[in-house]
Every structure is written in structure tokens, then in C-alpha cells.
Structure 1
């Protein structure tokens, strides 16, 4: 005689679905925490390797910081602090521009194991890359490197009164509303490569704190000044270390005169 197969009652089905949903939420949260920790580790590794490379560069170049930018007339391309951009690259669509990290001023000093930082995608905003194979998301203090043009006097690290308080590298990004697919109604986060006392480009993507590398070779975290947060995408935590005009953490007052 065949036995009848008992199905789930409605209550049993609701309870089962609830248990599955709870397990999925717990496992999903755990997975997200692992992803966040992985992002933090990659940021730390990138900052550390850049700091080691910076120390080696300074030791072989009279202790003077490298330029942020060294733009040559076409067809020479542009040498940024983070790599060489060949001629014609800037005319390519965003995300497809070419950068060659090994040909930048730190190329011979920094290992090739620097990796794209997934933390840029944890901001709650859509992410828009600039370069193909890019997005390390680290900015250089342009006040040390001849400003944005690279043509102004560059700082000698030995003239820094408290190098352990002067940022050389930091996690960096900017809010873009002016390049498609970004717009005023669709602000997007994009990688950025420099910081100063005016631009809103310090990225607190590690729980609201920016990871930094100081001029003495140490690393740590600094908070974003709440009054400087870019209100076009406040949850992305993009701002400055201090109000506009302040060179706190960026330059000695004596260097600034």
C-alpha cells in the first residue's frame, strides 16, 4: 500500500523561509565584513609599498620630492606621479585611458604588486574609473611635489619640522557630476590622485577614516573634517583633513611661506 507524502503546512513553510532568510542575511553580512577587511588590507599594502618606494626615491634624489606632474608637449604624453600616460590616452573614454605605472617617477622604486583597491566600490555610490587597469585610489600631497603643475618649488623632506605629521599619500577619490555617465542627479565616485588644501579629494573609505602614509615612512589613519564632506554624495566620505585653505597635515607653516 502506497504511503501518502506529507507536504509542508503554510505555517511550516513560513517558518522555513524565515530561517533561510535569516541564514542568508547572517552569511551575507559576514561575507561583506570579509570584503571590507580585504579592502583595508589592500589599502594598507598599497600605502606601505608606496612609502617604502618614496623613501628609496628620496634617498637617491637629494631628499627632494618628485613632481606631481611633468607634462611634455605632444607627442610626448604626460608623466604623472603614479605613471606615464602615453600620447592620445587622454582622448579615450573614461575607464579606458592608459597608464604605465612602471614609467612614473616611483616606477623603479615601488613593487608591481600594488593592486586595484576594491574599497572604492564600498562607498555607496557608483564607481567611475579613469584608467584601464587603474584605481589604486591613492592621492599624493601636491604641496610637496610642485603643486598640480609640478613646476613650483618642490619640498626637501629634511626641511619638514614634523615629518611624522605630514601626509605624503592618502586614500583619495572625488565626486564627479560633470562627466558622463555621471551627472548632477547621478553623482559618481571616481579615482583621484592628488590632495591639497582646497580640493575635496581625501577619501575616508575605511569606516570614515583616510589611510595615510606620512613623510617619516610611518602609516596610520586620519579623520575627515566633517565640515568638508562633499554634500553631493555625503555617504561616500570625500572631504579634506581641515577646512579650505588650511595646510594641516600637508605642509609646515615655514614651508608654506
Structure 2
């Protein structure tokens, strides 16, 4: 990370921030000068460790346990964030999960659980953040925007994924929700964008990279020849949350090593 504090004076909330991509993003925002609410749903020790890392960089951070698919818990979380930090300038909608199944065997519970966290959770958190952005308005000494929302999606917002229909559906929904919010809110100086990670080395997908055989197979899908790290996503998130990207509105930034280039066709298919 640069020594330049791109996010000085800003207050951020990152959902699903005690592991994987969310952890990397929360720490990077803290390094960039933001105070951070570290949301999580289970794993107190891991959440506290993220807070400790942010404080090591001189930032302020708190944990808040909440299930983003529950409206009342989201409301309480944002009320506390505003009470503790005064406002929220940045929301990173990161919380997500998988419940994989063949389509014919998928239960309604698996469908609803993934859509509830991945899509409805992003709606509930974005709505709460937007209400705070509109209440406060632009504070030029802090940011050129009234607020920034980053919706964490996936390459599977464009690449179908057999055996993961609920997950892919949630990510396709995130794409158009993000774009619709961006279109509606840009006149209010609220910037909404997305990040679509490819294969990132996180606990959610351990089986895809934890053996040499699995990693070799995975790398055939990645033209750049390496698996991504949470830090790759974190750097993109800091940029999208900063005034350096002030004219970027309604865009999905793919951070995927070229996975969406359909590498199977690189030798004429």
C-alpha cells in the first residue's frame, strides 16, 4: 500500500470482514486512513484480530456481529456505526456464501440462504448506507462524493456455473442491482461500483487450490498464471473508495487474472 492516506477522515463498514477478501479489504482501508467497522457473523477471535491489525497501522476499528440478511440486525449495525464514528462514508458489501448443489437436488433452504446473504444482504446494507449518505450530503473536506458503495460480486455474474446456480444467480443480481443503484444515485453524488473477483485464495474455496493437482487444474482457467490473493482485491477496493476514482460510476472492475477472457478459446477453441 502507498503511504498516501487516500481515505483519511473517512469511515468505512465492511461486511463479512473477519476472513478472506473482506479481511483483506478491511485492513487495506484501515491502512489507507479510514476508520473501519468490521462486520462478521461468526468467529469473534478472527474479527478481533482484524481490528488489532488495523489499529497497528494507527487506524480505529470496531467489530460488529450481525447477519446481513436480517433487516433488524443491519439497522442496529448502522445505528451503532453512526453512533461510534459519526457517519459512514464507505460501504463494502462483501459478505457472501456458497451452498453448492446439483440443480435438481437443490433445496429451497439452500436457494434462499445464498440469495438472502449474497443479494438481499447487499440490498439491506446499501439501503442503510444510502440513507446516511443522503442525510449527511457531501463534505468536501472528506470526499468529493456523498458516499461510496462497493458491491463485491464475482466473475460468475457473467460466467455460468453448473452446480452453483444459487450463487451465480445472486451474483448476476448484484450486477444489475449495483448498476440500477448507480444510475439512480449518481445525481446525489453517491458512487456505486462493483468488484468481480476471479479465483482468490480464501477459505470459501479451499478445495480449488489446496492440492497441487487442484491448483494445476484451476490455473488452466487463469491466463495470468497465478491464483489471486485478498490483497489484489483490497487494492482495487481502496482505489474505488477514494477520490482517485471519482468519475467511476456504475462499473464492475474485474480482478480475475483474465478468467473472463475464456482461456479455453486461446487455441481456437
Length-normalised TM-score, structure 2: 0.26
Q: Report which structure shows greater RCO (CA 8 Å, sep ≥6).
A: 2
Largest Rg, 1 or 2: 1
Length-normalised TM-score, structure 1: 0.27
Q: Greater helix percent: which structure?
A: 2
